[in-house]
Chain A
Amino acid sequence: MGTDDVPLDDKAKRMRDLLSSFYSPDPSSTPNAPSKYGILDAINTSSFDPDQYMNLLVQKSNLEALLQRHVEMAAEIKNLDTDLQMLVYENYNKFISATDAIKRMKSNIIGMEGNMQQLLDKIMSVQSRSDGVNTSLFEKREHIEKLHRTRNLLRKVQFIYDLPARLGRCIKSEAYADAVKFYTGAMPIFKVYGDSSFQDCKRASEEAVAIIVKNLQGKLFSDSESIQARAEAAVLLKQLDFPVDSLQAKLLEKLEQSLGDLRLKTDEIENVSLESNDTSKLGKVSDSIPTTAHEASVREFAEAIRAYRVIFPDSERQLITLAEDLVIKHFEMTKQYIKRRISSANLLGVLRTIWADVLLMDEVLCEAVLPDFSLEAAKDAVKLYVARTFTYLLQDISDALLKVNVKPKEAAEEHPLQVALEASKKAVLQGSMDVLLDFRQLLDDDLGLLVKLRDFIIDWVQEGFQDFFRALDDHFLLLSGRKNLSSQDHGLTEGVHVEKVLAGLVLVLAQLSVFIEQTAIPRITEEIAASFSGGGARGYENGPAFVPGEICRIFRSAGEKLLHHYINMRTQKVSTLLRKRFTTPNWVKHKEPREVHMFVDLFLQESKAIGCEVNQILPQGHLRKHRRSDSNGSTTSSRSNPLRDDKMSRSNTQRARSQLLETHLAKLFKQKVEIFTKVEHTQESVITTTVKLCLKSLQEFVRLQTFNRSGFQQIQLDIQFLRTPLKESVEDEAAIDFLLDEVIVAASERCLDPIPLEPPILDRLIQAKLVKSKEPNPITP
């Protein structure tokens, strides 16, 4: 059985090898892969080893399986044989059909060559024919072309000869556009032949063109023509190579000129509006009349600009400068105007006019951003206005105050200080209110310009008030003569001389400071809070510009300072008097006292003058003890009850005498009287302080002298006389008593032989003096 299998296997293997060598993609790999698979499946691989396979099969399988295997294999082999046979047949068939096709192709190609030759011949003949036609028609065609060219040339010549006439017609019919078209068409020819053949023609047409140019220029400059026409004219002129730039410049010049006219007109309008504002307070109504005239001219100007822009599209830059120039000039005028004294209604009128102009021009020339530009300018102008207003306010107040200086004599009968104080109070309060009202007007107006500036205006006003009050404080100090020494800058009051500063003025200033601190500032603060709050251009971290607290502080201290200054001025005067009194006589060789010395009268007169001034202005304090029916300080009223005075002085005399004996002891036990108390803004406080200071000075002057008995007695007499009238006018009796006693004590200490006058003599002398002072005498008014 095994032997049977082997030849079959060999045959099959050869077949398989053949097939695989035919189909395998890589036949070289087969011999190189000596397979050692000991598997029965390896029968289909190329490295199949039949002996190994057989051995394996025999070893592994039993007989039955081998037999079965044999049957299977035989069947497989038979199948493979038939398959192979089929393949061979098919291949052969294909080969046969291929051979047939080749045979057929060979027979088809043989007849083609002859046909091709035929085709070539025919084409050659067609070409020769066409050449023949071409040559035969050539001459005629040339001729026709020549004729055609001549005709064109003739037409052109005709056109050029006709050009002058045609241009003339065009001029007549004002068809300048056509004329320019014709002329520019003929230009190349003129350029070439203009000097020879067509000389006349050229000249004639040039003349015509010159007319056209002239006409076009006229058209360009004439305002009556429509803008479109003018623009066209400009375009045509440009086409005619006319120097348009110079035209543009000329036109611009014209515009500028009209600008100049406009400016002048603005001035007139301002004048007119000023006058009309003066007559009728309503700015809006009065403004409307002159505005129309002005508006018309501005409208005209705007139109001109619009036209210009259309005509010269690339001229924006110049126009913007022009418009800005106009705005600048406007605001320059405004600033000039502000320098005069105007109300905000007037300013509003002017601003409104300007704004209207600006809006008009903006319509025409929006590239210029004129509103923004004018906003900047307006900012300056309004700021200037605010500053000016405050300056005027300061001036007003100063004027009101200086009226005291101007005619103190004329108004002597009345109360000049009171009048001045009231006037200046009014100037401060009313002036400030007016100023605020004025600014309110600016704020309330709905003019676009001002609406944008509102925040700024609020800040300026606040700042303005702050600065104004500071300046006012400075000014007060200047007026009071305190500052002249240290201040190098001479501001508003060049004419005020230090020496001429009246004490009364200082008092008025002091009181005015108090008024500002207590009344004016709260009112103004209220007003500002009501209508000038907000702002905020300064930023919140800086706070509001107007700090009433600071101003109040400034004026409180100013008030105190000025009051002290007043007291100082007054006491200084008395001091001079006392100094003369005490340094002039030789006190060691003084004669016996015969009468009360005259300096007492002067002293009382001074204190009365102080009282007179003080009573006019300062409020009464609550501690007033002595009622005075009349505040103008006449002697009769203050000495209304001589009988009572006599009694008092008598008792005082006795007391003085007894006091003298026990001065040292008494002083030890006496409570120290507070002499130098704080000065208040009341009549009594000021008078008391002044008198106290004077008496203290008196004491110090006494301490510097050495007296003999008579000198001491003279002092005793004078002081005794002073006691009654002084106590009458002064609030703090105890202090006055104390100080007067101190004078006597000081005198006795400085006396070589301190023996006081006998009371009866003292009384008699005082009586004599009283009687004398009651008579009409020149010393006391």
Chain B
Amino acid sequence: MQGGSSGIGYGLKYQARCISDVKADTDHTSFITGTLSLREENEVHLIRLSSGGTELICEGLFSHPNEIWDLSSCPFDQRIFSTVFSTGESYGAAIWQIPELYGQLNSPQLERIASLDAHVGKINCVLWWPSGRHDKLISIDDENLFLWSLDCSKKAAQVQSKESSGMLHYLSGGAWDPHDVNAVAATCESSVQFWDLRTMKKTSAIERAHIRNANYDMKKKHILVTAEDESGIHIWDLRKPKIPVKELPGHTHWTWAVTCNPEYDGLILSAGTDSTVNLWLAPISAGDEPNSEA
């Protein structure tokens, strides 16, 4: 589909697997992304949409020691972000701070604030609480859920609590409820599990196989959007976990990531392995009107 192919492009040197919007930068529309290259030198790019909206400008280019599998920007400090990286054999996660640039654009070193090095297995993602300042972080690896308390000034992160998901449940990712500081949804092979961070216990689950990605609606409570391998996108009302509220066809291959627009109701963006990004208009009540862009 050639929907709106007049987009603005920005080229990276290598392949990338993740991009994050810089929420804390309220003056500009900024993104941060990191490359995924096993054998080359990886980079983190800070990109800003020019004021005219016609161009993407590289605001900062920093080298990163390893290939980046997951990256997310801190929602309250635009210079801080987290990455999950892999050396090929092992995984690690760290919190980084972008150094003050003072105009020059040559790749300075990123400042490592803290490394979340309590993990053993494959780390999947690091989550910030999306709604504002919160001194906690969550990191999820295959088997465990870690709650970290982060102190940026002391440049230290400590494991506050940890819980194993139990045998035979391989976690693959998660989402932190923007409406509730204590609720986290974690995706695993056959279900989405909901955790209460105070007790570190599972509260409930949606039984659904092959969920790749989940995201909360920023505006509406209890609404969760999930992306699945074959069966597309589902919108759930968490009070009714048996049946999805809505079903969208998704992508021709796997639907990899899905996220809700924080401002406009019913706008859902999804990315799939068929190399397309689809923008859905799916208000909970009315019909959907898919529009997609390669």
Seen from chain A, the residues whose Cβ lies within 8 Å of a Cβ on chain B are 485-486, 568, 571-572, 575, 583, 588, 675-676, 693, 696-697, 700, 706, 749-752
A568/B231 in contact, CB under 8 A: yes
B254/A706 in contact, CB under 8 A: no
CB neighbours of B88 from chain A (8 A): 588, 706, 752
Contact A697-B253, Cβ < 8 Å, known A485-B244, A486-B247: yes
Least distance between B44 CB and chain A CB atoms (Å): 20
B253/A693 in contact, CB under 8 A: yes
CA distance A696 to B229 in the complex (A): 12
Least distance between B95 CB and chain A CB atoms (Å): 23
Task: Pick the residue among B38, B254, B274 that contacts A750 (CB under 8 A).
Answer: B38
In the complex, which residues 238-266 of chain B have their Cβ closer than 8 Å to any Cβ of chain A? 243-244, 247, 252-254
Task: Pick the residue among A572, A676, A750, A752 that contacts B253 (CB under 8 A).
Answer: A676
Q: Is B39 an interface residue (CB 8 A)?
A: yes
A696/B38 in contact, CB under 8 A: no
Q: Is B273 an interface residue (CB 8 A)?
A: yes
A706/B253 in contact, CB under 8 A: no
B210/A575 in contact, CB under 8 A: yes
CA distance A750 to B86 in the complex (A): 12
Chain A's interface: helix, strand, loop or mixed, by majority? helix
Task: Pick the residue among A568, A583, A588, A750 that contacts B230 (CB under 8 A).
Answer: A568
CB neighbours of A700 from chain B (8 A): 253-254, 273
Q: A675-B274, A706-B89 are in contact. List 5 more A-B contacts (CB 8 A).
A: A568-B231, A571-B230, A676-B253, A749-B15, A752-B88
Residue with the highest number of chain A CB atoms closer than 10 Å, among B39, B230, B252, B274: B230
List, sorted by A's number, 18 A–B pairs whose CB atoms are closer than 8 Å. Answer: A486-B243, A486-B244, A486-B247, A568-B231, A572-B210, A575-B229, A588-B88, A693-B253, A696-B253, A696-B273, A696-B274, A697-B229, A697-B253, A697-B254, A700-B254, A706-B89, A749-B15, A750-B38
B129-152 vs A, CB cutoff 8 Å, 1 = contact: the mask equals 000000000000000000000000
Contact A572-B38, Cβ < 8 Å, known A693-B253, A706-B89, A752-B88: no
CA distance A633 to B265 in the complex (A): 51
CA distance A752 to B66 in the complex (A): 13
Interface residues on B, range: 10 to 19
Seen from chain B, the residues whose Cβ lies within 8 Å of a Cβ on chain A are 15, 38-39, 86, 88-89, 170, 210, 229-231, 243-244, 247, 252-254, 273-274
Least distance between B213 CB and chain A CB atoms (Å): 14
Chain B residue with the shortest CB-CB distance to A751: B38
CA distance A485 to B242 in the complex (A): 8
Residue with the highest number of chain B CB atoms closer than 10 Å, among A486, A700, A706, A752: A706
Chain A residue with the shortest CB-CB distance to B89: A588
Chain B residue with the shortest CB-CB distance to A749: B38
CA distance A568 to B38 in the complex (A): 33
CA distance A750 to B89 in the complex (A): 12
Chain A residue with the shortest CB-CB distance to B17: A703
A752/B38 in contact, CB under 8 A: yes
CA distance A581 to B151 in the complex (A): 41
CA distance A752 to B230 in the complex (A): 30
A572/B247 in contact, CB under 8 A: no
A676/B254 in contact, CB under 8 A: no
CB neighbours of A575 from chain B (8 A): 210, 229-230
Least distance between A600 CB and chain B CB atoms (Å): 21
B252/A676 in contact, CB under 8 A: yes
B243/A485 in contact, CB under 8 A: yes
A706/B38 in contact, CB under 8 A: yes
CA distance A327 to B243 in the complex (A): 49
CA distance A706 to B39 in the complex (A): 11
Least distance between A139 CB and chain B CB atoms (Å): 120
Chain A residue with the shortest CB-CB distance to B231: A568
CA distance A675 to B254 in the complex (A): 14
CB neighbours of B243 from chain A (8 A): 485-486
CA distance A675 to B251 in the complex (A): 13
CB neighbours of A751 from chain B (8 A): 38
CA distance A176 to B230 in the complex (A): 98
CB neighbours of B244 from chain A (8 A): 485-486
CB neighbours of A697 from chain B (8 A): 229, 253-254
CB neighbours of A749 from chain B (8 A): 15, 38
Chain A residue with the shortest CB-CB distance to B234: A485
Chain A residue with the shortest CB-CB distance to B87: A706
CB neighbours of A706 from chain B (8 A): 38, 86, 88-89
CB neighbours of B253 from chain A (8 A): 676, 693, 696-697, 700
CA distance A735 to B3 in the complex (A): 24
CA distance A751 to B231 in the complex (A): 30
CA distance A486 to B252 in the complex (A): 22
A572/B89 in contact, CB under 8 A: no
CB neighbours of A485 from chain B (8 A): 243-244
Chain A residue with the shortest CB-CB distance to B37: A749
B273/A572 in contact, CB under 8 A: no
Least distance between B28 CB and chain A CB atoms (Å): 32
CA distance A750 to B230 in the complex (A): 24
B274/A676 in contact, CB under 8 A: yes
Chain A residue with the shortest CB-CB distance to B273: A700
CB neighbours of B254 from chain A (8 A): 697, 700
CA distance A285 to B267 in the complex (A): 70
Contact A752-B229, Cβ < 8 Å, known A676-B274, A700-B254: no
CA distance A486 to B247 in the complex (A): 9
Chain B residue with the shortest CB-CB distance to A696: B253
CA distance A751 to B230 in the complex (A): 27
Chain B residue with the shortest CB-CB distance to A752: B88
CA distance A699 to B86 in the complex (A): 20
Closest 4 CB pairs of A and B: A676-B252, A568-B230, A706-B88, A588-B89
